[in-house]
Amino acid sequence: MADMELTGAEIVVRCMRDEGIKHIFGYPGGAVLNIYDEIYKQKDFEHILVRHEQAAVHAADAYARCTGQVGVAIVTSGPGATNAVTGIATAYMDSIPMVVITGQVPTAAIGQDAFQEVDTIGITRPCVKHNFLVKDVRELASTIKKAFFIAATGRPGPVVVDVPKDVTQHKCVYEYPRSVSMRSYNPTSKGHAGQIKKAAQMLLEAQRPMIYTGGGVVLGNAAEQVAELARLLGYPVTSTLMGLGGFPSPDPQFLGMLGMHGTIEANMAMQHCDVLLAVGARFDDRVVGNPKHFAKEAHRIIHIDVDPSSISKRVKVDVPIVGEVGQVLDEICKHLKAGKDKPDEQALKAWWAQIELWRSQDCLKYDRNAAVIKPQFVVEKLYEVTGGDAFVTSDVGQHQMWAAQYYKFAKPRRWINSGGLGTMGFGLPAAMGVQMAHPDASVACITGEGSIQMNIQELSTCKEWKLPLKIILLNNGYLGMVRQWQEFFYEERYAESYMTSLPDFVKLAEAYGHVGMTIEKPEDVEPALRDAFGKYKDRLVFINFLTDPRENVFPMVPAGKGLSEMILV
């Protein structure tokens, strides 16, 4: 039995079993028929058939984001692979651990412009952490093992394994390697002790300290350590879009999100602090705006990141620490607890007084008594109705920013959105991935009428799997973020940002077998949400909220400007 030979297709399925995979998202096709035949025969994992390959990859991606495990998707060659590319690039930009199995034409046909052939390795190379073309069935199991290892370790990311059809037919003895050792791939896990000591010292010397956390805190499971450090020192904390939930948003030490649509208090504190601790964040253009403007103030910067290439890429730092953020923060906390030095209480008091002054401007206020539905109001009500404990996915645009600003995430891995690539169409398939991973959890997808139509076909997948998602459509009739930029920077020339002939979303939801509602008045918002999570708990509910078409996202730092140059209303 031990040395019985298996086909490549059987090996793929066995590898998934031995890797402990429970859910795979995919779409069959010619090049992966052998694999699908084996999927048909097994019971170790469930395969979720989507309606478009992009959705399979987004769902696997979100599955990874909300569980911390590696997500898996499988698609066929050619158009299957090219449809998957947007999903792969989305995961790559946000450092999401994922393995994507792509079918390929038989090895003998590669390069012959065969039916459904594309150079998947070539196309995906710039948007994967790594990719493999498996030409020999004897290398299949070890390659898949490597793929999972690379995807999950160091700075995580998607890995593509391209498997030609003949390789799925060939046979060899199956053995799944227990461990992987690669001379060319050894990510640093432990931070440098000397640097850690220096960081602890610098933090204690701060007069105006700031802790800036990013997606790395969530990906590195370091929320506890961030909280411990913040409490130990009493320093203010801000977070990027990707880091939300890495520190509890309702906490008074939390200044809200920073960046292009960050709060006044977060952006001003970021700009004016004297010691900045950056944790798993990369100073990207949506966060610090213009790096030259940011560098005008004299900051001393400590930067902890698992990826050395993230350090000193856009902003020069003083104390770089390469390592897993949780481990490094643990060490810093140890130093602080062991030493006698304490933060300068007087200075900290003055700094907090300044911050409270900024905070008192209440930059997220909006007209709560408006006769039309304000989109912010819907998100606030969603927060109340779900007790702040839902998984929230979003698409990309104004609704995404409102979700980030008004849903106060208290736990990591609850806020699932495409931050780096900014992929419209992400929200619905992402919500499917989350609901598959957490069948009993409340899952809401906050979306816009532009984004939702980019993967609307997945309502069919939701019906098949009876996924009780709540789709919160903030329908303002415009591609809102485009409209906002046109209003501010293009003298209100609204080029192609208004959609006429939108579908009747209620009928559309019903056509797919779900519950649809249209809500037009502010007083109906809360009852509708209560019905969605109460009366229709077990159904997918699609709520079309007709919101104020002229509402904009504030504050706003225009592209290329500095963090203190915000537009407030």
Partner 1 sequence: MRHIISLLMENESGALSRVAGLFSARGYNIESLTVAPTEDATLSRMTIVTRGSDDVIEQITKQLNKLVDVVKVQDLSDGSHIERELMLVKVRATGEMREEIKRMADIFRGRILDVADKTYTIELTGPGTKLDAFLAALEPSAILETVRTGASGIGRGDRVMKV
Q: How far is the CB of 153 from partner 1 (least distance, A)?
A: 11
Helix and strand counts by DSSP (H, E) for the chain: 23, 20
Would you say 135 or 411 has its CB closer to partner 1? 135
Question: Looking at beta carbons, which pairs linking 381-388 to residues 24 or more positions away fall under 8 Å?
Answer: 381/525, 381/526, 381/529, 382/407, 382/444, 382/446, 382/472, 382/529, 383/407, 383/408, 384/526, 385/526, 385/529, 385/530, 385/533, 386/442, 386/444, 386/533, 388/250
Among 126, 298, 340, 371, the residue binding partner 1 under the rule CB under 8 A is 126
At 298, the amino acid letter reads A
Write the CB contacts of 21 (distance below 8 Å, at least 6 apart in sequence): 44, 45, 70, 72
Q: Look-up: residue for tokens 């594309």?
A: 118
Q: Does 185 bind partner 1 (CB under 8 A)?
A: yes
Would you say 184 or 369 has its CB closer to partner 1? 184
Would you say 320 or 480 has its CB closer to partner 1? 320
Which H or E run contains 541? strand 541-546
At 419, the amino acid letter reads G
Choose the catalytic residue: 116, 201, 354, 457: 116
Q: How far is the CB of 184 from partner 1 (least distance, A)?
A: 4
Q: Which of 470, 533, 463, 475 is nearest to 504 (CA)?
A: 475
116 is catalytic: yes
Would you say 157 or 220 has its CB closer to partner 1? 157
115 is catalytic: yes
Choose the catalytic residue: 41, 115, 489, 510: 115
Q: Does 133 bind partner 1 (CB under 8 A)?
A: yes
- Return the structure tokens found at 92: 């790559």
Choose the catalytic residue: 165, 374, 381, 470: 165
Would you say 114 or 121 has its CB closer to partner 1? 121
535 is catalytic: no
Q: How far is the CB of 281 from partner 1 (least distance, A)?
A: 17
3-state SS assignment for residue 371: coil
The per-residue DSSP string of 449-484 comes to HHHHTTSGGGHHHHHHTT---EEEEEE-SB-HHHHH
Q: How far is the CB of 141 from partner 1 (least distance, A)?
A: 18
- Return the structure tokens found at 53: 């390959």
Which H or E run contains 98? strand 98-104
Q: How far is the CB of 125 from partner 1 (least distance, A)?
A: 6
Choose the catalytic residue: 10, 16, 38, 53: 53
Cβ count near 535 (within 10 Å): 11
Q: Which of 418, 211, 224 is nearest to 330 (CA)?
A: 224
By the 8 A CB rule, do 170 and 235 touch? no
Among 179, 184, 369, 500, the residue binding partner 1 under the rule CB under 8 A is 184
Among 182, 338, 371, 569, the residue binding partner 1 under the rule CB under 8 A is 182
- Return the structure tokens found at 162: 């391209």
By the 8 A CB rule, do 512 and 459 touch? yes
Q: How far is the CB of 245 from partner 1 (least distance, A)?
A: 27
Q: How far is the CB of 306 from partner 1 (least distance, A)?
A: 11
Residue 363 to residue 349: CA distance in whole angstroms: 22
Q: Kindly report the backbone phi and psi dihedral angles of residue 165, in degrees, each rounded to the nearest multiple of 5, phi listed first.
A: -60, -40
- Return the structure tokens found at 205: 């010397």
Q: Does 129 bind partner 1 (CB under 8 A)?
A: yes
By the 8 A CB rule, do 385 and 269 touch? no
Range 291-330, binding partner 1 (CB under 8 A)? 307-309, 312-313
Q: Does 125 bind partner 1 (CB under 8 A)?
A: yes
Range 406-465, binding partner 1 (CB under 8 A)? none
Among 130, 197, 293, 438, the residue binding partner 1 under the rule CB under 8 A is 130
Would you say 187 or 477 has its CB closer to partner 1? 187
Would you say 185 or 366 has its CB closer to partner 1? 185
Please identify, among the stretches 74-82, 126-134, 405-413, 482-490, the one whose residues bind partner 1 according to the rule CB under 8 A: 126-134
Q: How far is the CB of 213 from partner 1 (least distance, A)?
A: 22
Residue 485 to residue 505: CA distance in whole angstroms: 27
3-state SS assignment for residue 376: helix
- Provide the phi-psi class of 477: left if phi over 0, else alpha when psi is between -120 and 50, else beta: left
Residue 329 to residue 463: CA distance in whole angstroms: 44
Q: How far is the CB of 24 from partner 1 (least distance, A)?
A: 24
Q: How far is the CB of 211 from partner 1 (least distance, A)?
A: 25
Range 202-261, binding partner 1 (CB under 8 A)? none
Would you say 312 or 354 has its CB closer to partner 1? 312
Among 150, 275, 304, 382, the residue binding partner 1 under the rule CB under 8 A is 150
Please identify, among the stretches 60-68, 85-93, 177-185, 405-413, the one whose residues bind partner 1 according to the rule CB under 8 A: 177-185
Cis check: omega of the bond before 248, within 30 degrees of 0: no
Write the CB contacts of 376 (distance below 8 Å, at least 6 apart in sequence): 364, 366, 402, 405, 406, 551
Q: Does 122 bind partner 1 (CB under 8 A)?
A: yes
Would you say 123 or 543 has its CB closer to partner 1? 123
Among 178, 183, 340, 493, the residue binding partner 1 under the rule CB under 8 A is 183
Would you say 289 or 320 has its CB closer to partner 1? 320
Residue ranges that bind partner 1, judged by CB under 8 A: 121-122, 125-126, 129-130, 133, 150, 182-185, 307-309, 312-313
Residues labelled as active-site residues: 53, 115-116, 165, 481
